[in-house]
Amino acid sequence: MQIVFLLEQVVNGLVLGGYYLLIALGLSLIFSVGGIVNLAHGAFYALGAYVFVTLVDTVGFAPAVAVSPVAVGVLGILFERFILRRFYREDPILSLLVTFGLAMVAEQAIRMIWGAAPIPATMPAAMRGAVIVGPFLFSQYRLLMIAIVALILLGIWLLLNKSAFGRVVRAGIQNPDMVAALGIRLQPYMTSVIVIGVAIAALAGALFAPITIVHPAMGAEIITVAFVVVIIGGLGSFWGVVLAALLVGVVRGVTIHFLPAAGEASIYVLMFVVLLLRPRGLLGESIEKFDK
Amino acid sequence: MNHTPKTISGGLTRRATLQLGLAGAATLGFPSIVRAQGGPINVGHLTPKTGFLGALGEWATLGIQMAAEEINQAGGVNGRQLNIMSEDSINPDTAATKAQRMLERDKADFLIGEISSASALAISQVAARNEKLFVAVGPRSDVLRGDNCSKYMFCTDIPNTVMVNAVGTALKRDGMVEGKKFMTLTADYVFGHDLLKAAKDFFDRNGAELVADELVATDLTDFSPLLIKIRQTNPDVVCLNLAGNQVTNFVKQYSEFGLPYPTVGFNLNTADAWAAGLGNLQGTWPTVWYHTLETPESKAFVEAFKAKYDKIPENHAWISYIALKIMAKSIGETGSAETPELIKYLESGAEFDILKARPAHFRAWDHQLIQEAYSFTVDPDAEDEYAMIKLGEAVPAADVDLETIYPDEKQNSCKL
């Protein structure tokens, strides 16, 4: 019986991994293209949740989930145009500091606009409840979420690997000067990738709002886990992030099964072990411009 | 979030240096004038404004500010204005550091506030070392009134034992205790451990069986592994000894998974229930106060709060409000903000109007406020999250001694 129980936690951990993936993916994309360590990523996640709760009562669940990443994505354009763009070729510490400051500004702005008290958010009654498959218990809502995550993952993979857009972006990641020498202006590509990253974070916020507390500090809470996932996976690696998110979900779930009090600590132990054995992360690639 | 002192960067002009020097000399040279009897009463208010109890601390801050404004607008206490210095206590270490700074540098006359039992313990030690009063407003651990009670600390919220008794009375009435298998989830810090102990005592006394108990880290946000474990354990009742954001996250996800077991909770602050939203909360819970309480004083407070902040007050807003009013009355009656006089007055059994049907008083031997408690149930068909909480009758009943729901001298180890 114990084995089945454990297996159930492993399967649940994989589902949970999808949950982390949504945040970590954008973070990894933004780092890859711009060399920006975006500490404000959690703020976009929080904004996504807040836009969702503001809209959901008037427009309904699905439209609110759809509008939220678009609205926050527009903010992302401004973020890239007026802030990030200045830091692409600067020391990463500068972008780290500026996004750190921005994260604080965003959290306080949320406090001023929506108040400090948490905001209630619920899902439609039809989405509540569990599906039991054999010995496994799944939340219907999370299965839906996983389907969305899989679609996004597929979409981004196709975009980066099978399109002309993706070829320029990948070339730009490896060697921006060569891309420029070929007469291609990299700027619009950078903007697009960053807006995609920001929009995915906002979508995560909208999707998580019904199952987690919506309060001003929610962005600061999620950003640490997102970084752990990106670091374990290897900075800049698409599949590394996917693998790491699933691994973090499973390790956390299994730890909570045996020792709930150590649940959150387990992911940091995992990061520690991975970095000791593979300092570049699980699937970390060598990126020419960062190796100089 | 930390209030660090501003540093002076760059060069100072000669004039600025002179002004600074003069100002410094003035404070050094004439401290007695600055702190004259007619000066303000400095109140050091510490409460968590970030972290898993941060949402509750925001309510506490609104409550104490409103009380201070009312008192100051009415001319202060014996003609002295109240000066509230309110800061984020963050965690026990920072709370202790800030408490020391408030007493030493900011010349606080007394300390008030806190929700975390762990931070309150740390502040209590600082207060005792400085021989100043600390009114622990929101923490509920029995140990603060028991093993770790202090001559300098007075506790205003209901303790864990009372919350268990308030809910337990309702559960026994509904036949949900004897012979039932309970599984508990407990916040992994001093408050949770303490509440689990009170819950275990209750189960033992009433023939219930504890089949599993899990400690939950305070920063846990995803409960799905525990929800799976609950199904694997298959208890009759799921019992929650959680705190702050944990409650909201658990309640939302429990409803998401749609598990069939009834839940009861031995701790809930109504802000956490509101944050969960309509249709997520179920079960029987304790509370120290709710805005639907039918007393004229309570209704007047709710109206004034709504007029000022445009929202309905939560129990931490209420308790911070009445805690400062208790202190104002005490200073007014004794004519002094000096610690020994205040302790003597608070220990005298003086009665305080806390907007409930019966007045409250501090017990001299363990310094806790003796007052009515309530249980509440949840109306799934309510129109909004404020209406979903249905406040039960006061516990104990009107003709029963208030002391009966509190631990007596044999059960409580406090030695002052």
Cβ distance B150 to B122 under 8 Å?
no
Provide mean pLDDT across the span A277-290.
77
Q: Does residue A64 lie in a domain region?
A: yes
Number of domains composing chain A: 1
Amino acid at B191: F
Cis ω for the linkage preceding B396 (within 30 of 0): yes
Locate the chain B residue with the closest alpha carbon to A118.
B275
CATH of the domain at A19: 1.10.3470
- Which residues of chain B fall short of a pLDDT of 70? 1-37
d(CA B261, CA B253): 14
Q: B252 in the Ramachandran plot: left (φ > 0), alpha (ψ -120 to 50) or beta?
A: alpha
Per-residue pLDDT tens over the stretch A74-89? 999 999 999 998 888 8
Residue A120, domain extent: 2-286
pLDDT for A57 beyond 50: yes
- A27 membership: H or E segment, kind and range: helix A2-34
What is the pLDDT, as a whole number, of residue B178?
94
Query: How far away is chain B from the Cα of A75, in angstroms, using its nearest Cα?
Result: 25
What is the pLDDT, as a whole number, of residue A1?
61
Residues comprising chain B, all counted:
416
Confidence of residue A196 (pLDDT cuts 50, 70, 90): very high
The CA-CA-CA angle for residues B326, B360, B197, to 5°, reads 105
Tell me which architecture the domain covering B34-158+293-370 has in CATH.
Answer: 3-Layer(aba) Sandwich (3.40)
Of the CA atoms within 13 Å of residue B153, those in its CB half-sphere come to 31
What is the pLDDT, as a whole number, of residue B28?
43
Q: Tell me what ipTM this predicted complex has.
A: 0.90
- Select from 3.10.450.230, 3.40.50.620, 3.20.20.70, 3.40.50.2300 the CATH code of B161-287+373-405: 3.40.50.2300
Q: Does residue A291 lie in a domain region?
A: no
Contacts of B96 (CB under 8 A, 6+ apart): B122, B123, B125, B126
Provide mean pLDDT across the span A283-290.
67
Beta partners for B42?
Answer: B83
d(CA A166, CA B320): 57
* Burial class of residue A51 (count of CB atoms within 10 Å of its CB; 0-12, 13-18, 19+): buried
What is the pLDDT, as a whole number, of residue A264?
85
Domains B34-158+293-370 and B161-287+373-405 share a fold: yes
Q: B residues 26-65 near A, CB within 8 Å?
A: 49-51, 54-55, 58-59
The CA-CA-CA angle for residues B352, B358, B360, to 5°, reads 35
Among B280, B271, B286, which Cα is nearest to B250's? B280
Locate the chain B residue with the closest alpha carbon to A5.
B232
Residue B404 gets which letter from DSSP?
A: G
Cβ distance A83 to A98 under 8 Å?
yes
Contact between A118 and B248 using a beta-carbon 8 Å cutoff: yes
Q: Does A9 touch chain B (CB under 8 A)?
A: yes
Q: Does residue A292 lie in a domain region?
A: no
Q: What is the DSSP string of A61-130?
A: HHHHHHHHHHHHHHHHHHHHHHTGGGGTTS-HHHHHHHHHHHHHHHHHHHHHHH-SS-B-----GGG-SE
Q: Does residue A162 lie in a domain region?
A: yes
Cβ distance A207 to A65 under 8 Å?
yes
Q: Does A135 touch chain B (CB under 8 A)?
A: no
d(CA B161, CA B191): 12
Q: Does residue A53 lie in a domain region?
A: yes
**Helix locations, B12-132, DSSP H:** 14-29, 31-34, 54-73, 92-104, 117-129
Q: A116 to chain B: which residues are within 8 Å by CB?
A: 49, 54-55, 58
Residue B368 gets which letter from DSSP?
A: B
Amino acid at A289: K
Q: Does B255 touch chain A (CB under 8 A)?
A: yes
Please state the domain extents for chain B: 34-158+293-370, 161-287+373-405
Among B259, B300, B270, which Cα is nearest to B376's? B270
Cβ distance B51 to B118 under 8 Å?
no
